[in-house]
Amino acid sequence: MTGPLALVGGGAWTTGCDFDRGLLGAAGADEVVVLPTAAAYEHPEHAVAAATDWFATLGARVHGVMVVDRAGARDDAHVAAVRGARFVYLADGSPMHLRSVLLHTPLWDALVAAWRDGAVVAGTAAGAMVLCDPMVDPRGGAYTVGLGLIGQLGLVPRADTWSDDKLHRTRQLAPTGVPVALVDERTALVRDDDGAGPATWRAAGAGNVSVWIDGHEADLAALPV
């Protein structure tokens, strides 16, 4: 049984992200490990501070694991912190940098192992995109390779801020048969797995989620589990 997986469309740790309360409950812990890796060139400590303030309102603490490069993703203390976590949250920033830092590292292996042991994993915007494969490239809306915690799924974060033309292009460029989830800010696409049957997907938060396959709108049941 894997833990819950929350793909957040951006605007994390702000009013409207009430789904975090439920994720804390599912984690059964009062500490969240935050990886600000994607924000390595944008004051990663600010991401940790924002998460700290937000989760304090929910009665939880934040442990910022300051992995900003591949050396950090091989650091034994960082790897142990992620492996032992019950709730891991990947911050926003550059999905390309995040992917390059985590790919084929002990830290990524630790995150996957924790999730497979039932830990909650969440990512916001860049942190959500990179968990999927194929990964939407925000620079042009086309596709590249993601880390693939969830395969055969593309994700567009902040879909409510994209132009209609860019959204249409991204939907049309998706590989045949691969769903693309459009997730608004302050909104999460959540995968639940209780071990009793197939995992299920649901939308939570302030905005909307839509799913598209081969240019046609579908429902959440079409997402891979």
Q: According to the model, what pLDDT value does residue 195 have? A: 84
Q: According to the model, what pLDDT value does residue 196 have? A: 85
Q: According to the model, what pLDDT value does residue 201 have? A: 98
Q: According to the model, what pLDDT value does residue 66 have? A: 98
Closest CA to 205 of 13, 6, 29, 17: 17
Could you tell me the CA-to-CA distances from 185 to 59, 67, 150, 219 in Å, in that order?
23, 25, 20, 19
Domain residue ranges of the chain, discontinuous segments joined by + = 5-222
At 105-141, the pLDDT tens digits run: 999 999 999 999 999 999 999 999 999 999 998 877 8
Per-residue pLDDT, averaged over 169-176, amounts to: 93
At 13-55, the pLDDT tens digits run: 999 999 999 999 999 999 999 999 999 999 999 999 999 999 9
Tell me, what amino acid is at 60?
A
Q: According to the model, what pLDDT value does residue 140 have? A: 77
Q: According to the model, what pLDDT value does residue 139 have? A: 79
CATH fold of the domain at 5-222: Rossmann fold (3.40.50)
**pTM of whole model > 0.85?**
yes
| Exposure string over 102-127, b if 16+ CB within 10 A, otherwise e | beebbbbebbbebbeebbbbbbbbbb
At 44-100, the pLDDT tens digits run: 999 999 999 999 999 999 999 999 999 999 999 999 999 999 999 999 999 999 999
| Exposure string over 44-57, b if 16+ CB within 10 A, otherwise e | beebbbbbbebbee
Residue 164 has pLDDT above 80, yes or no: yes
Per-residue pLDDT, averaged over 189-196, amounts to: 93
